[in-house]
Structure 1
Amino acid sequence: MCVLPGGRWLCTFRAARIKEGSTEATLLTWSDDSGKTWREPARPWPVPGVGGRIGSDHCGYCTALGEKQVLAVVCWVDRSEPDLPFFNEDTEGLLDCRIMLSESPDAGETWSEPGFVDAAPFYGPVPITGPVFSLANGDLGCQFELNKSYYEPTEWRHSSVLKFSADGGKTWPEYVITSNDPQNRVFHWDQRPGVLADGRILNLFWSYDKQAGVYLNIHARESTDNGRTWSPMWDTGVPGQPATPVSMPDGRVAMVHVNRTGAPAIEMRTSDDMGRTWPEETRMVLYEARTDSQTRKKTTMQDAWAEIGDYSVGLPATAVTADSDVLVVYYAGAETDRTDIQWVRVKA
C-alpha cells in the first residue's frame, strides 16, 4: 500500500490461479475516496524477457516520490520453464530473480518500460522484500535478500541487503548487509526497514532457527546514519512476521504483524521506547482467521517452505495517511488458493 500526497491510495498485489503456480501477475488498483471504491485491478507495466527467457512480475511495491511521481520496484522471476516450482526442494535454490524499476509521472495511471537494477556484486537470485524507501538524507534504499541459484548444490547462506542510490534510482553503487548469521543457523529474512519520524531506520525481521526448526520472535536492529551501519540485533518479544514499522503522531512506533502461534491473526502493537519493547497491553487484533493453526512441525528447510505454501493469511503491509492514521493491507482467506485483499484503517 502506498499513500500519495494528493490522497490517492495505491495497492499492488500478486494474483495467481494457485498460490504456488507460475501463472502470476502483479496487479495495481487505487482508491481516490479513502477506500470506499477501487479502480478495476490491472497489470500496470509490461514484463520484459531476459536473454530470451520469459519472466513474470512476482510482486511489486510502490513508493511516492512527489505529488504524482511514483516509483515501483518489481521482482522479475524466470518463467522459461513454467513447470518448475519457485523453490527447488532438492537444492534449496530459487528460480532466477531480478529487480526491476518502473516510474509513473501521473499517480500510477501510466508507467515507464521497466529497467533492471544492477545488483552487483550479487549475481544469484535477489528477491525483493518490500518497497524502495526514501532516507532522511535524500538517498533511496532498495531492499532484497540473497538466495542461491536453482541447481547450485552448495549450502544456502542467507543474507538481507540494502542498496543505496543518490541519483533517484539511476545507479545503486553502495550496499550494506543488514542480516547474516555467521553460523548460518538463524535466518533473519523478510526484512522490513521503516524510516521513522526522527530519521532513524528501524528494521524488523521474521526470524527462523534453521537448526531447531522453529520461528523465533521478531528481531530488530536500527540505524542512525541512513542505513550505513546497524546496531546489534535484539529480540522484540513479539512472535510472528512483521510489516514495516511506522511512526505515530504522539512519538510511539506501530508494528503490525501476523501472529501464527494459534489461528493466524493480524495484530498491531506500539512501542514508546524506540522499538525495544512492545507491551502486551498495546496489542490490538485487526483480523483473526476462523481456521486452525497453519503451522507444522519442521525438521528441514523444505518443511519451512511447504508451511509457507499453506498459509492463507499474511504479508501485512503498512502506510500512513495524510491525517496520520495507520493503513494496513494483507491477504486473508479460508483456503490457501482462495484469498482476498483486505485493509484496515487504525485511527491515530
Structure 2
Amino acid sequence: MTSIEVLSTGLVYRNPHPNIRSLHAFFPSVIESQPGDVVVTFDRGSAMENRDVRSFITRSRDGGETWTEPKIICEPVDPEGTVSTSVRMSRTNEGELLGLFTLFHRNSPEDGLANPETDGFVRTEFALSRSEDGGESWSPIEPISLPMEWSAFETCSPILSIDSNRFLLPTATWKNWEGESTPGMKAIHFLSEDGGRIWSGPVEVMDDWSNGVAHWEQKQTVLSDGRFLAVSWAYDFQNKMSLKNRFAFSKDRGESFDPFHESPLHGETCTPLCLEDGRVVMVYRRTDEKGLWAHLCEFKGDHWNPFENVPLWGTEKASYSSDSKNTFEHLAALKFGYPQIVRLSDGDLFVVFWCVEDCVSNIRWIRFRLNRGGK
C-alpha cells in the first residue's frame, strides 16, 4: 500500500461571477494559525500581470469546506497606478504571521511584468507586514532595504523563520528591464538577525549562470539533522527547457551552501517540508509527466533516497497552453503551479496551489496523509 493517501480536495477561491467580471487568483500561501484554523493568502486581479493585482487573505475553520470572503491585506501607496502586489505568508515559532510583499513598479501603465524584447523584469521592491492575531489585522507594510545594488528580484518563497530573531529571505536575481544581468540569474537569500529589520547578504545558494542555467522558485526547509535543504527549478535558457530539480545543503544555518546536486525529480516549482520523523515530503509540478505530484524521500548525507511519487491533481491536463515566442510568454502559459504545503495539527498535510479550470484561475486545496505502512 502506498504511504501517501489523498483524502479530499476543494476550492479556496474561484471568481463567483466569471460571466460578469474577470478575476483570477494566483500564488497562494498557507499556514495553520491554531488547530483547525487554516489561513491562506493569494494574489487576485483581472489578469496575472495586470497592475490591478492585489493580495488577499481568507480562512477556513471546517477543513476547507467553506472559506471567508477574501479581504485585501494592504493597498500600496500608488498615485500613478503603476504598482501591483504579490504576497508570500509564513508563521514564526511564536505564532506571528509574516507577509512578505513584492511591489512591482511599471515604467508605464500598459507594461506587464516582463519586457518581451529583453526577457527583463520590472523593478521590484520587498516589504514586510506582520499580524499578531492570526491574520485578522496587519501592520502597515515596511520597506525592506536589501544590501545589494540590483532592482530585479524574484518572488519565490515566504520568509523562513529560523528562530525568534533569525529570518531568511529566499529569492533570485533576474535580468532588469533593459535585459542586463550583471549578478547573473542565480538563487540567493538574505539573512536577518533582528526579526526582519536589518538584512545581510546576499548568500549564494545555487549558481550555474555561466552555463546559461537559471535557478528559480527556490524553496528551503530545515532537516532533522539541522541542515538547511534548498530545492530549485533549473531552467536552461539556451535550449529553452527545464532540467531536473537541483538541491543544495547548508551546514551553518544558511551562512553558506555546498555545491548543488541534481535531484531525481523532473520538475519545476517544488516545495519541500521536513517531517517529524526526518523524512521529507515535496509537492511539485512535474515535467516528465503531467500534473501536480507528491514525493516522499529522505536524505542520507548528501544522497537523496526516494521512496515514492503519487499524483495529486491534473494528470490529464497539459502544463502549458502552446508554444511561446519568448521565455516569459512560456512561463505565462502555465496552467497551474506554485504549490505550498503545511502540516496540520491533526497530522494531515494540506496543499494549496493555483490552477486554471474552465478558463478561470482558482486557488485549490488538497488534503493527504502519510500512512505508517509506508517507508
Equivalent residue, structure 2, for 1:39: 68
Aligned pair partner of 1:282 in 308, 316, 319: 308
Cα distance in 1 for partners of 2:197, 2:81 equals 24
Letter in 2 for 1:243: C
What is residue 208 of structure 2 aligned with on the other side?
181
The one-letter code sitting in structure 2 at the alignment partner of 1:322 is S
CA RMSD of aligned residues (A): 2.4
Which shows bigger deviation, 70-79 or 243-252?
Answer: 243-252
In the alignment, the residues of structure 2 paired with residue 293 and residue 161 of structure 1 have an alpha-carbon distance, to the nearest angstrom, of 27
Paired with 2:295 and 2:102, the residues of 1 have a C-alpha distance of 30
Query: Which residues in structure 2 correspond to 1:120-131 (within 5 Å)?
Result: 120-131=147-158
Partner of 1:312: 335
Please tell me whether residue 16 in structure 1 is matched to residue 45 in structure 2.
yes
Match of 1:251 in 2: 278
Determine helix, strand or coil for the equivalent of 1:277: strand
Which of the numbers 3, 13, 28 marks the counterpart of 2:57? 28
Matched, 1:73 2:100: yes
Match of 1:165 among 189, 192, 201: 192
Gapped regions of structure 2 (runs ≥ 5): 1-29, 371-375
CA distance in 2 between counterparts of 1:317 and 1:100 reads: 21
Determine the C-alpha separation between the residues in 2 that align with 1:22 and 1:201: 36
Identity %: 23
- Asked whether the 8 Å contact 2:206–2:248 carries over to 1, the reply is no
In 2: Cα distance, 1:289 partner to 1:83 partner: 36
Post-superposition offset of 1:266: 0.8
Aligned match of 1:331: 354
Kept in 2: contact 1:200–1:222 (CA 8 A): yes
Query: Deviating runs (4+, > 6 A) in structure 1?
Result: none
Inter-CA distance 251–152: structure 2 relative to 1 (3 Å threshold) = closer
Which one-letter code corresponds to 2:54 in the other structure?
A: A
Shift of 1:44: 1.1
Q: Which amino acid aligns with 1:45?
A: C
- Name the residue aligned to 1:56: 84
Kindly state the Cα deviation for residue 188 of structure 1 after the two structures are TM-superposed. 1.4
Going from structure 1 to structure 2, the CA distance change for 1:216 and 1:199 (only over 3 Å counts) comes to same
- Secondary structure, counterpart of 1:129 in structure 2: coil
Deviation string 1:226-271 (CA, Å, 9 cap, x unpaired) is 11111221111111123321122332111110113343x1101111
Paired residue secondary structure (1:112): coil
Q: Which amino acid aligns with 1:192?
A: K
1:347 aligns with 2:369: yes
Structure 1 unmatched ranges of 5 or more = none
Q: Is the 8 A contact 2:168 2:191 kept in 1?
A: yes
Distance 2:349 2:106 in 1: 36
| Structure 2 CA distance for aligned equivalents of residues 241 and 25 of structure 1 | 25
Structure 1 length-normalised TM: 0.89
Higher alpha-carbon deviation: 104-113 or 117-126:
117-126
Which deviations, in whole Å up to 9, do the C-alpha atoms of 1:88-111 show, x marking residues without a partner? 021221111110100112111111
Partner of 2:239: 212
TM-score (normalised: structure 2): 0.83
Query: What amino acid is aligned across from residue 55 of structure 2 in structure 1?
Result: T
**Comparing both structures, which one devotes a greater share of its residues to strand?**
2
Partner of 1:84: 111
* Cα separation, 1, equivalents of 2:313 and 2:120: 33
Between the aligned partners of 2:217 and 2:99, the Cα distance in structure 1 is 18
Is the Cα contact below 8 Å between 1:262 and 1:293 reproduced in 2? Answer: no
What do residues 158-211 of structure 1 show as CA deviations (whole Å, max 9, x unaligned)?
A: 122211111111111333011222514111111111123333211111111112
Following the alignment from structure 2 to structure 1, what is the Cα–Cα distance between the partners of residues 168 and 181? 30
Structure 2 distance, partners of 1:344, 1:190, is 21
Aligned to 2:267: 240
Shift of 1:6: 4.7
Where 1:147 maps in the other structure, the secondary structure is coil
Kept after mapping to 1: 8 A contact 2:227/2:253: yes
**Superposed displacement of residue 272, structure 1:** 2.4
- 1:213 and 1:297 in contact (8 A); partners too: no
Aligned length: 340
8 Å contact kept, 2:92–2:163 = no
Partner residue of 2:159 out of 118, 132, 153: 132
| Distance in 2 (alpha carbons) for counterparts of 1:89 and 1:244 | 28
Aligned equivalents of 2:107, 2:224: Cα separation in 1: 44
Q: Which residue of 1 aligns with 2:222?
A: 195
Counterpart amino acid of 1:203? A
Aligned letter for 1:46? E
Structure with more relative contact order (C-alpha pairs < 8 Å, separation 6 or more): 2
